[in-house]
Structure 1
Amino acid sequence: MLAQQRQQAILERVRSSGGVRVADLVRELSVSDMTIRRDLEVLAERGLVEKVHGGATVAGPGSTEEPGFAAKSVRQQPEKEAIAQQAAQLVRPGTAIALSAGTTTWTLAHFVADVPELTVITNSIRIADVFHRSPRADRTVVLTGGVRTPSDALVGPVAVSAIRRLHVDTLFLGVHGMSVRAGFTTPNLLEAETNRELVAAAHRLVVLADHTKWGTVGISTIADLAEAHVVITDSGLSDEAREEFTSRVGELIITNSQPESESLSR
């Protein structure tokens, strides 16, 4: 195996599991300890991994770094569409749902736009626009006010006040990161406060997050892992993460990385 091929294999392993140990790579790739350490050094210099004692982890963003909606919308598109298709099966006619801001929940909005007699609460201008472009006389959409974030969420005291007296059957929550220690997180303090209010307003919490969110930690926690009734993610989630979710959440649903129908044209 060439050095470039070996480094690509190491990088894929890091991304799938969140981290690797030198000893494990030495055994799996049948090369020397020094060779693996050189490979990790090369990957770290390129900003692809972070070296830690005895191995390496995913090179993640800072806990307060918040990518814009456009930047996030092009990441893991097949995974997000598969997750959204699965989540849409949980939406029943005549119910009240809440959709937090985010690209995966925005994708879900397209799949539930034709559900009859639906009441939708959202703090996302983008999501409200999806329903505006596909009008139904039997649907009610409530858009909270608030201060706009880089990811196009409406947050802060105005949003919190609007949500506080509402009650919904199901909240579909998009998150920036998730881990055992920090739970479901966001890099925006005001968005965390607003999302916590959405969690409190919901009878059922369904978290939508692709596998790359595992191991990422934003500055503020929205909810602990155990608060989720359902987590919907994709098949790229590591075995370790699956075990953690299985022992903590009500139900873990793993989707295929490709949706059943053709990709949405947007």
Structure 2
Amino acid sequence: MSENQNLLAEQRRALILDEVRRRGGVRVNELTRKLNVSDMTVRRDLDALARQGVIEKVHGGAVPVVEASTHEPGFEAKSTLELTAKEDIARAAAAMAVPGSAIALSGGTTTYALAQHLVDVPDLTVVTNSVRVADVFHAAQRPGAPGGRPGAATVVLTGGVRTPSDSLVGPVADRAIAALHFDVLFLGVHGISVEAGLSTPNLAEAETNRRFVSSARRVVVVADHTKWGTVGLSSFASLDEVSTLVTDAGLPAGARAEIEEHLPGLLVAGDAASAEG
């Protein structure tokens, strides 16, 4: 049996994860037949998914890992996951930023990747509750030039209490955000689903994100394919409050169809067939 060369490793692993979650478990020999790849390839994929903490390997196959809805991994732990997907998403989302506009970026590793592409967009006003995102813009300023390089972003970092994701949340952040108005909010999420909408395991972060959503004319969610179907403790927005979801090509076809039924805009980064609705 020849190896299926049409699927990238990340796409293949996304299909495996979707199968594991949908069926509650899969066997290696089933996956080799379904994907037309070798036993060794499937086992490598299962090893990679197990390292990400989304499946548990068992004898002859794998079962899903069900995390507590209150579990919140730290920034460093999340920063090593889905690097290619986050880079694709960041590049696609950055093209949506209009020079001279007022934008907001929430915390998270995907918005952190996005910030690195936004530093070259001139005359932005950026409001963020992410210490990491603010640091990206600060580092991009040319040393020795008062006010930074011409066209450099004006960055407003909210105050607040720091979370494991290096976001600032709580009443101080909430009041600052509620008094402002953004053309676009680029929002990272812990989980997104039809039933729960956008969710996070952190109650204070949920309230801060609600303020972000309320203050934005347009909400663009940046989330890799592993976030679809994940549900955190607290929902903070429904899908009808989202203008566009920017995700990656690892999203299975079934999930794409479901998203398109509930969201006006879906942009699959790295997929030429995808167009914003």
Query: What is the alpha-carbon distance in structure 2 between the residues aligned to residue 172 and residue 71 of structure 1?
Result: 21
Report how many residues are paired.
233
Three-state SS of the structure 1 residue aligned to 2:155 is strand
Paired residues of 1:17 and 1:240 also in contact (CA < 8 A): no
The question of whether the paired residues in 1 share the 8 Å contact of 2:105 and 2:186 is answered with yes
Q: Does 1:236 align with 2:250?
A: yes
Q: Does 1:121 align with 2:133?
A: no
Structure 1 runs of 4+ with >3 Å offset: 10-14, 20-31, 46-50
Per-residue CA deviation, residues 133-180 of structure 1 (Å, 9 max, x unaligned), is 112454211100000000100000000000011000000000011111
Query: How far has the Cα of 1:22 moved from its partner?
Result: 8.2
Structure 1's 150 and 120: CA in aligned 2 closer, same or farther, altered over 3 A?
A: same
* CA distance in 2: counterparts of 1:80 and 1:176, whole angstroms: 14
Q: Which amino acid aligns with 1:21?
A: R
Write the mapping of 1:71-82 to structure 2, written as runs, cut at 5 A.
Answer: 71-82=77-88
SS in 1 for 2:110: helix
C-alpha distance 132-251 of structure 1, shift in aligned 2 (>3 A) = same
In the TM superposition, 1:153-192 aligns within 5 A as: 153-192=167-206
| 246, 256, 259: which one aligns with 1:245 | 259
Post-superposition Cα deviations, 1:213-239, rounded to whole Å, max 9, x if no partner, equal: 112111011211221100000111122
Q: Does 1:134 align with 2:148?
A: no
CA RMSD of aligned residues (A): 2.9
Q: Deviations for 1:87-137, whole angstroms, at most 9, x for unmatched residues?
A: 000011110000000000010000010111110000001100100111245
Match of 1:220 among 234, 237, 246: 234
For 1:95 and 1:231, locate their aligned partners in 2 and report how far apart those are by CA, in whole Å. Answer: 20
Query: Where does the alignment leave 5 or more consecutive residues of structure 1 unmatched?
Result: 2-9, 32-42, 51-55, 258-266
* In structure 2, distance between residues paired with 1:79 and 1:49: 19
Give the distance between the partners of 1:252 and 1:115, measured in 2 at CA.
23
8 A contact 1:67–1:151 mirrored in 2: yes
Matched, 1:97 2:103: yes
Q: Deviations over 1:192-212 (max 9, x none)?
A: 100110000100000000001
Judge conservation of contact 2:14–2:252 (CA < 8 Å) in 1.
Answer: no
Once the two structures are aligned, what percentage of the paired residues are identical? 53
Q: Report the residue type matching 1:185 in the other structure.
A: S
2:81 alignment partner, SS class = coil
SS in 2 for 1:63: coil
Separation in structure 1 between the aligned mates of residue 13 and residue 138 of structure 2, nearest angstrom: 42
More displaced 10-residue stretch of structure 1: 19-28 or 76-85: 19-28
Higher relative contact order (CA 8 A, sep 6+): 1
Q: Would the aligned equivalents of 2:16 and 2:31 in 1 still touch at CA under 8 Å?
A: no
**Is 11-20 or 185-194 further displaced after alignment?**
11-20
TM-score (norm: length of structure 1): 0.79
User: Normalization by structure 2: what TM-score?
Assistant: 0.76
Secondary structure of 2:217's aligned partner: strand
Change (3 A) 1:116 1:12: closer
2:18 maps to 16
> Counterparts of 2:211 and 2:193 in 1: how far apart (Å)?
21
